Amino acid sequence: MWKPILPALLLIVSPVCLGTHVSQTRRFPNDFLWGVGSSSYQIEGGWNADDKDESIWDVLTHTHPEKIADQSNADISADSYHRWRRDVQMVKELHAGTYRFSLSWPRIMPGGYMNHVSTAGIKYYSNLIDELLRYNITPTVTIYHFELPQKLQELGGWTNPEIIPLFKDFARLVLEMYGDRVKIWTTINEPWHVCEHAYGLDYMAPSYNFPGIPAYLCGHNLLKAHAEVVHMYRDHFQKRQGGRIGISLDTSWPEPRNPDSAEDREASERAMQFYVGWFGHPIFSKHGNYPKVMIERIRNLSKEQDFGIRSRLPEFTTEEIHRIRGTADFFGINHYTSNLVTSNGHNNTGGFPVPSFNHDMGVVESQNEVDWPGSGSVWLRVYPKGMYNLLMWIHREYNSPEIIVTENGVSDRGGLEDYARVDYFNKYLSAVLDAIEDGVNISGYIAWSLMDSYEWKAGFSEKFGFYHVDFTSPQRTRTPKISARVFAQICKTNTIDWNYRPKLEQEQKLVVMAQHPAEEDQSRSSAAQEAISWSLMGALLLVLLR
Ligand SMILES: *[C@@H]1O[C@H](CO)[C@@H](O)[C@H](O)[C@H]1NC(C)=O
Ligand SMILES: *[C@@H]1O[C@H](CO)[C@@H](O)[C@H](O)[C@H]1NC(C)=O
Ligand SMILES: *[C@@H]1O[C@H](CO)[C@@H](O)[C@H](O)[C@H]1NC(C)=O
């Protein structure tokens, strides 16, 4: 059963301390939507529960554990397949108005085809949605977040045009099952990762590592599949169900290495067209189709590389261009970090394989290790201005679409006293607020992530959560970090309070003492770990007894 939750949502996200704060505090718009996110493979576990079949990530982690930083897999992970009630409690504790999660295709349709629909899989997400609605939390559902059924990968996955009707079948089923209760949908999470990282590089499953060709086939089919789902939603569901549908693109911000160099500024613009424009231009621009610079560069390079007159980037027909253009009710953007960019001279490979996406883009990226603080991930450095620049770019490039930040967050290597994460959110949210004040239409912000999760090839080594998860305990105990309290305060008050830096509370301290030895230094023998944790517990007892 669905009851109109949006008005209720406005109530819970509206400022509670209006009138008491007469200070300079800058405030987010009253109806701003706050949320936290997760994704199915990263948290659910239950990899073979009930009739679930393998996804491409099950296969990658089981057959090539050496490709994962800690040789782990997400067979159990945070066990959200069984602990979803606790997850919903956490979203509630954070005062978030929305919870963004994704649907596992092989859990719902194990073989990828309609002939086998899993009752248990359908029920799992149905229960989760009902539980969220019970607390007036609106579900934001990602239909595809990297979890392709392995059976479909064996047909070529996203490089096979057959994926278009198959994805549409999967989407139709979930819209029928959940659309009465879900009002915010995104079709696909991070197409750039789905295509380039998975087909061009050996980074994400299925790890094709085949640069320069299949990623563009993937992108072509993905855009058509996305458009078909949005048309189906608009034609058959939207009026009755009253929700909205979009897509989540992702990019780092390419900051010109030398801002005074026209060539570096051009490289920055080209990087934006390749990372965001590849998918953004066909959907959000006035005329549709791939960005001109992408079409021309890849056509020219293909010719030079003796591919003949057919570009490695497939062409859309005029009809397809019209069919794809305008297929989003909002622009979802995932953003974490920035890079310094400079041009890769036309005939210089820049160390990239020829052909490859990076060589086609003609941009060389590096990090600012001097001015941008690091994190728990080598690729992630803190540069809040990049968030502002990115939002302004989308605003200008696509005629001021409504934007929802669907992911933003930072990693560390563990611990509950995550003041670096607090600083990151304060600074990045401040950049979002700057963009809003400069006229960018941003209606929501969904932080990554609700809890520590399986971070793909980084395994469990990088932590992005507001909640710590004890991956060694059978209960997968969740404990709020300092950042959870700060983010809850932001959601509740609609403001950033730079002075709010709470200290660890007693029950959190107990968790730290019990868990840290095991977590901080995995090379220690377990006997040593046990001795240390017992001595810490002893010390704590002495303190308490005094
Ligand atoms: C592609 O080649 C054409 C013809 O040589 C040239 O005019 C154009 O500037 C090139 N475009 C790009 C983006 O390199
Ligand atoms: C790049 O190299 C190709 C083949 O070696 C050549 O035909 C082309 O003119 C060169 N382009 C530039 C801009 O130097
Ligand atoms: C943002 O975009 C939405 C959807 O187009 C529109 O309804 C709303 O009025 C816009 N808000 C602002 C502040 O421009």
pLDDT tens sequence across 111-126: 999 999 999 999 999 9
Q: How confident is the model at residue 515 (pLDDT cuts 50, 70, 90)?
A: low
CA 300 to centroid of ligand 1, rounded, Å: 6
Residue 14 pLDDT greater than 60, yes or no: no
CB-based contacts of 325, cutoff 8 Å, min separation 6: 282, 283, 285, 287, 288
CA 148 to centroid of ligand 3, rounded, Å: 34
Q: In whole numbers, what is the pLDDT of the chain averaged over residues?
A: 91
Test site for ligand 1: of 273, 300, 344, most ligand atoms within 8 A of the Cβ: 300
Q: pLDDT tens digits, residue range 354-400?
A: 999 999 999 999 999 999 999 999 999 999 999 999 999 999 999 99
Give, in order, the Cα–Cα distances in Å from 307 to each of 209, 213, 356.
20, 11, 13
Q: From the CA of 297, which ligand is nearest?
A: 1
Q: What is the pLDDT of residue 285?
A: 98
Residue 99 pLDDT greater than 80, yes or no: yes
Q: What is the pLDDT of residue 516?
A: 55
- Indicate if ligand 1 lies below 6 Å from the C-beta of 361: no
The protein residue with its alpha carbon nearest to ligand 2, atom 6, reads 304
Q: Which helix (H) or strand (E) covers residue 246, if one does?
A: strand 244-250
CA 395 to centroid of ligand 1, rounded, Å: 28
β-strand 467-469 against 253-256: which pairing, if any?
Answer: unpaired
Rounded Cα distance between 192 and 204, Å, is 11
162 is catalytic: no
Class level of CATH domain 2-545: alpha beta
- Indicate if ligand 2 lies below 6 Å from the C-beta of 347: yes
Per-residue burial over 331-353, b = 16 or more CB atoms within 10 Å of its CB, e = otherwise:
bbbbbbbbbbbbbbeeeeebebe
Atom of ligand 1 nearest to the CA of 293: 13
Task: With beta carbons less than 8 A apart as the criterion, state whether 278 and 291 touch.
Answer: yes
Catalytic residue among 407, 455, 462, 519: 407
Q: What is the pLDDT of residue 508?
A: 82
- Indicate if ligand 3 lies below 6 Å from the C-beta of 31: no
Task: With beta carbons less than 8 A apart as the criterion, state whether 213 and 355 touch.
Answer: yes
Long-range contact set of residues 462-469: C-beta below 8 Å, sequence gap at least 24: 462/376, 462/377, 462/411, 462/412, 462/413, 463/376, 463/411, 463/412, 463/413, 463/414, 464/409, 464/410, 464/411, 466/36, 466/90, 466/94, 467/90, 468/414, 468/415, 468/416, 468/511, 468/515, 469/78
Q: How confident is the model at residue 11 (pLDDT cuts 50, 70, 90)?
A: very low
Q: How confident is the model at residue 509 (pLDDT cuts 50, 70, 90)?
A: confident
Rounded Cα distance between 401 and 48, Å, is 41
Query: Which of the residue ranges 61-75, 257-271, 330-344, 495-509 would you say has the lowest mean pLDDT?
Result: 495-509
Higher model confidence: residue 17 or residue 449? 449
Amino acid at the residue 501: R
Q: From the CA of 440, which ligand is nearest?
A: 3
Amino acid at the residue 291: P
Q: 59 burial class (0-12, 13-18, 19+ CB within 10 angstroms)?
A: middle
Ranges of each domain in the chain:
2-545
Q: What is the pLDDT of residue 372?
A: 98
CA 301 to centroid of ligand 2, rounded, Å: 9
Rounded Cα distance between 440 and 285, Å, is 16
Closest by CA to 328, choosing from 262, 403, 259, 410, is 403
Q: pLDDT tens digits, residue range 138-147?
A: 999 999 999 9
Q: What is the pLDDT of residue 511?
A: 79
Rounded Cα distance between 301 and 312, Å, is 9
CA 261 to centroid of ligand 2, rounded, Å: 23
Q: How confident is the model at residue 347 (pLDDT cuts 50, 70, 90)?
A: low
Question: For the chain, how many residues are written?
Answer: 546
Q: What is the pLDDT of residue 350?
A: 80
Atom of ligand 1 nearest to the CA of 297: 13
Residue 222 pLDDT greater than 90, yes or no: yes
β-strand 442-448 against 467-469: which pairing, if any?
Answer: unpaired
Q: How confident is the model at residue 346 (pLDDT cuts 50, 70, 90)?
A: low
Give, in order, the Cα–Cα distances in Å from 175 to each of 187, 230, 293.
11, 11, 36
Q: What residues are paired with 403 via a beta bridge?
A: 331, 442
Give, in order, the Cα–Cα distances in Å from 384 to each of 19, 108, 372, 410, 442.
30, 38, 9, 12, 16
Residue 316 pLDDT greater than 90, yes or no: yes
CA 345 to centroid of ligand 1, rounded, Å: 14
- Indicate if ligand 2 lies below 6 Å from the C-beta of 303: no
Q: How confident is the model at residue 223 (pLDDT cuts 50, 70, 90)?
A: very high
Upstream peptide bond of 206 is cis (omega within 30 degrees of 0)? yes
- Indicate if ligand 1 lies below 6 Å from the C-beta of 296: yes
Mean per-residue pLDDT, 153-168: 98
- Indicate if ligand 2 lies below 6 Å from the C-beta of 306: no
CA 126 to centroid of ligand 1, rounded, Å: 52
- Indicate if ligand 3 lies below 6 Å from the C-beta of 441: yes
Q: Helix, strand, coil: what percent of the chain each, to 5?
A: 45, 15, 40
The protein residue with its alpha carbon nearest to ligand 3, atom 13, reads 441
Mean per-residue pLDDT, 421-431: 98
Q: From the CA of 296, which ligand is nearest?
A: 1
Residue 259 pLDDT greater than 70, yes or no: yes
Higher model confidence: residue 326 or residue 24? 326
Give, in order, the Cα–Cα distances in Å from 309 to each of 190, 314, 315.
30, 12, 12
Q: What is the pLDDT of residue 24?
A: 57
The protein residue with its alpha carbon nearest to ligand 3, atom 12, reads 441
Task: With beta carbons less than 8 A apart as the criterion, state whether 331 and 402 touch.
Answer: yes
Q: From the CA of 346, which ligand is nearest?
A: 2
Output the CA angle 278-283-202, nearest 5 degrees.
35
- Residue 258 has φ and ψ, to the nearest 5°, of -115, 105
Rounded Cα distance between 221 and 230, Å, is 14
Rounded Cα distance between 192 and 250, Å, is 7
Residue 37 pLDDT greater than 70, yes or no: yes
Q: 475 burial class (0-12, 13-18, 19+ CB within 10 angstroms)?
A: exposed
Atom of ligand 2 nearest to the CA of 346: 13
- Indicate if ligand 2 lies below 6 Å from the C-beta of 346: yes
CB-based contacts of 348, cutoff 8 Å, min separation 6: none
Rounded Cα distance between 171 and 175, Å, is 6
pTM: 0.89
- Indicate if ligand 1 lies below 6 Å from the C-beta of 478: no
Q: pLDDT tens digits, residue range 170-205?
A: 999 999 999 999 999 999 999 999 999 999 999 999
Mean per-residue pLDDT, 202-228: 98
CB atoms within 10 A of CB 299: 17
